[in-house]
Structure 1
Amino acid sequence: MSGRVGDLSVKQSQLLEKFRLNVSDILEPKHDDHFLLRWLRARCFDLKKSEAMLRNHLAWRKKVGADTILEDCVLPEVITTYYAGGWCGFDKEGDPVWVDPVGRLDLKGIAHSAKKEDIIKSKIMCVERGYRMMADQSKKLGKRVSQLCIIFDMEGFGMKHLWKPGVDIFCEILEMFESNYPETLKRCYVINAPKIFPLAYHIVKPILSEDTKNKIKVLGSNWKERVLRDIDPNEIPLYWGGTRTDPDGNPFCKSKVCIGGEVPKSYYLREKDQLSSEYLVKSVIKKGSMLPVELEVNEPGCAIRWEFHTENHDIGYAIYYKTSPGEQNVSDMEVVVGNKRVNSHLVPEDGTVYCSKAGIYVFCFDNSYSWTRSKTVLYVIEVIHPETPSAMCNGYTQEDGNE
């Protein structure tokens, strides 16, 4: 049994009645069986966990003003203009479709130009608007519409999208979705996935429920054919496999879907940000010296991600690959990222580099050019591991579109 209205086992029906009684003090007339079963399914019909989840959700809705956020909240221009994504059309069963060209998103630029609270509010507004669309569809079609589909386009997605503060915001948004909008995702089509997709998925996978993971479909090169199996072509933009365009013929349907783009620095609120990570190492690099940080990469396909700032002065850095075991001078190592000096005392420095092979990498802070000043650096450097083939089988589903 699916655990949905009209498809309940005897035990599930009994648990539903007990659940309704347990939470009767917080229920409103709009909270029908469809609503209650969402929370039961989300916690495998565990009454205690389902009740805690629902009570936390209703308290959260009151705190963020979710019921009236679409009327009350005015977002900064940078978010409405550059935060990629939009509602566009419905699938063949009437469920709303969200198109998300994440590869075109400049989250770093948005994070420098808007408060995190506003970024999170914008995503709450997206989902709340989707729920209103579902309610309208339910009335129009004469049946319950309670799920949504996502086309997640990763064209243009690269290492810059693994900027740690941006990833932290994205993960916080995912946690919010999982806690407060369970059983809402119907299907997520991932298209144009780059080779670093396993790295990105590895970061967010611990946040996702098993139900969500099972609904992620990573499509192959003929993804258009697979998407159109579930969505009529006149419902989605021409660029994403459909036939829909704006009145001016724009294939992206920009009137519906924001396609993102680089945020102009004129929007930036500040030039200097504090590092987001709590796991910082603080070191003093003496004048005329270097500080090597060794990193063990166990398999090809990993990435090294770094973030640091200095307290008062600039610093140089480079990344090397050790070509032989034991002690080795950096001059004898293979250069992965060439030496550069950065004003990390003014703006924190961050970056990510793909590791094409396993072995020992050395992130080297360089103060050898300074014979008068020592430098204090606060940093976090980490290795991001990709999904292994066996782990992938327990996560998203890869499809070739021909099944």
Structure 2
Amino acid sequence: MSGRVGDLSPQQQEALARFRDNLQDLLPTLPNADEYFFLRWLRAQNFDLQKSEDMLRKHMEFRKQQDLDNILSWKPSEVIQLYDSGGLSGYDYEGCPVWFDIIGNLDPKGLLLSASKQELIRKRIRVCELLLRECELQSQKLGRKIETVLMVFDMEGLSLKHLWKPAVEVYQQFFAILEANYPETIKNLIVIRGNWKQELPKFVSPDQLPVEFGGTMTDPDGNPKCLTKIKYGGDVPKSYYLRNQVKTQYEHTVTVARGSFMQVENEILFPGCVLRWQFASEGADIGFGVFLKTKMSEQKQEGDMVEVLPIQRCKAHVVPEDGSLTCLKAGVCKSCRIHWSRLPPYGREMSLLPRLSRLPSFSCSRGGGGSLCKLLDPVAAGGTGFRMLGLGSSPWVWVTGQRGILESGIHSLKPQTQLLGTPYTALNRLRDR
């Protein structure tokens, strides 16, 4: 049996009923609660109830953190709208949406130098939600369920520039998100090179294919590429490169010696607030993650924190990192930490934007065995709310020297100063091992 509606074995039918019962608490918040939706998650895990439930619950956490219910109203930056490729051309013979991803003409390095990795991934997630909505619209139009998408990857023009490691890592991360959160949604994945003009019409009617891809469809002005439907990418002008744009905006930097780290905490007052981070580094990539602090102790040990956003490598030396997540709980502390796994000859320099909406700015210089750091008044951060927790009640940023010496920095934020704002205690940690 295929495990689809109308083709279930007795065991699969029983598993479906039990699966729905186990998820009664989630039913009001699910994007869809019909049999088709539940069976997608069951098929993805071969009808293993526990694995399917865990997968769906993690997806619902992901939906809340990424605010997916409102993502279709979000607009990416201009450079992504103009130079990130892809588009919906039409529908296949069974009515499934056909999405074209133009890889060969893409400028991955230019995009990553002009936009953050998270924004690029979020744009791809938005495409997934857009295609799911298109499936629903097609279902209503045709009077039968449409739940899968045909994807065409145009690799014509693929070269070594597309194998640039940061770009490959972005695609790897996106496909991991796709597999974990959009199971059983891809009907066919067609990679174009070679005899593609003979293969595509087997899946898609010519009137739903641009002339560029062997069909008969054109734009109203006769353009064979159907530019009104599909973005073809292209080289990104250097004027969009963020590194060039924001370098002059950095007023303060941190140079962290081997074995050093810094911590920042931000208290969350109510659920639903957005925690945002922006940073850049010089010389090499860094690791960044967000954690929930479970114990109100002075020592911030990993055992006292729950992972919310796993530590991941950020190419902040290539393009400034800019990310966010929606905080789901109030009255608890979140921690985000930034650390280094490799050390350049003279330590690593990190710059924090003075215009941050959630994080304050620092000014640090390298000392004899570590670093000297100054916390700048975060009112410039837009009054969004920051309380620094360091030594005792002092809102100092601090670093540990390579011999384990704790050096407290100079601060310009008055003790006990607290701005109204985000509900998490966000801990930013910069570390060199």
* TM-score normalised by the chain length of structure 2: 0.57
State the alpha-carbon separation in 1 of the partners of residues 179 and 85 from structure 2.
21
| Equivalent residues of 2:89, 2:100 under 8 A apart | yes
Matched, 1:19 2:16: no
Distance in structure 1 (CA, Å) of the matches to 2:283 and 2:27? 42
Which secondary structure state, in structure 2, belongs to the residue aligned with residue 186 of structure 1? strand
Are the aligned partners of 1:152 and 1:191 in contact in 2 as well (CA < 8 Å)? yes
**1:81-230 correspondence runs (5 A):** 81-192=82-193, 221-230=194-203
Q: Is residue 45 of structure 1 aligned with residue 47 of structure 2?
A: yes
CA contact 2:41–2:55 (8 Å) conserved in 1: yes
User: 262, 271, 274: which is aligned to 2:235?
Assistant: 262
| Structure 1 residue 273 displacement after superposition | 5.9
Verify: 1:31 aligned to 2:4, yes or no.
no
Conserved 8 A contact 2:150-2:187: yes
2: distance between equivalents of 1:178 and 1:246?
34
Letter of the 1:227 counterpart: L
Classify 1:114/1:187 alpha carbon distance in 2 versus 1 (closer, same or farther; 3 Å).
Answer: same
Question: Alpha-carbon deviation of 1:121?
Answer: 1.3
Distance 1:60 1:222 in 2: 39
1:222, CA displacement in angstroms?
2.5
Listed as ranges, the matches of 1:347-358 within 5 Å are none
Preserved contact between residue 205 and residue 215 of structure 2 (Cα < 8 Å): yes
Question: Which of the two has greater helix per residue?
Answer: 1
| Moved beyond 6 Å, runs of 4+ | 277-280
Q: 2:258: which partner in 1?
A: none
Q: Is the 8 A contact 2:283 2:344 kept in 1?
A: no
Contact 2:110 2:241 in 1 (8 A): yes
From the superposition, tell whether residues 44 and 276 of structure 1 become closer, same or farther in structure 2 (CA, over 3 Å): farther
- Do residues 65 (structure 1) and 67 (structure 2) align? yes
**Alpha-carbon distance in 1 for matches of 2:123, 2:100:** 15
Contact 1:165 1:276 in 2 (8 A): no
1:309 Cα shift?
Answer: 11
- For 2:227 and 2:282, the matched residues in 1 are separated by 32
Letter in 1 for 2:145: R
Going from structure 1 to structure 2, the CA distance change for 1:164 and 1:6 (only over 3 Å counts) comes to same
Distance 1:267 1:43, change over 3 A: same
2:217 to 244, 247, 250: 244
In 1, the alpha carbon distance for the partners of 2:283 and 2:213 equals 38
3-state SS of the aligned residue for 1:119? helix
Task: Name the CA distance, whole Å, in 2 between partners of 1:156 and 1:311.
Answer: 39
- Residue deviations 1:356-397 (CA, integer Å, cap 9, x gap): xxxxxxxxxxxxxxxxxxxxxxxxxxxxxxxxxxxxxxxxxx
Q: Distance in 2 between matches of 1:175 and 1:274?
A: 28
SS at match of 1:24: coil
Match of 1:377 in 2: none
Alignment of 1:261-280 (within 5 A): 261-270=234-243, 275-276=284-285
Supply the distance in 2 between the matched residues of 1:160 and 1:114 (Cα, whole angstroms). Answer: 17
Q: Counterparts of 1:31 and 1:132 in 2: how far apart (Å)?
A: 15
CA distance in 1, matches of 2:205, 2:96: 12
State the distance in 1 between where 2:25 and 2:154 align.
43
How far apart in 1 are the matches of 2:223 and 2:135? 27
Question: Could you list the per-position Cα deviations for residues 186-241 of structure 1 after superposition, in whole angstroms to 9, with x for gaps in the alignment?
Answer: 0011011xxxxxxxxxxxxxxxxxxxxxxxxxxxx322222101110010111111
2:100 partner SS: strand
Cα distance in 1 for residues equivalent to 2:143 and 2:11: 28
Matched residue of 1:89: which SS?
strand
CA contact (8 A) 2:15 2:47 kept: yes
Quote how far apart the aligned CAs of 1:87 are: 0.9
Q: Secondary structure at the match of 1:53?
A: helix
Structure 2 partner of 1:231: 204
Q: Which amino acid aligns with 1:5?
A: V
Query: Residues 259-338 of structure 1: matches in 2 within 5 Å?
Result: 259-270=232-243, 275-276=284-285
CA, structure 1 residues 238+311, in 2 after alignment: closer, same or farther (shift >3 Å)?
farther
CA-atom RMSD in angstroms: 2.1
Deviation at 1:74, TM superposition (A): 2.1
CA positional deviation for 1:274 = 5.1
> 1:151-205 deviations in whole A, cap 9, x for unaligned?
111011111111111111111111110000000000011011xxxxxxxxxxxxx
Shift of the 134–252 alpha-carbon distance from structure 1 to 2, 3 Å rule, reads: same
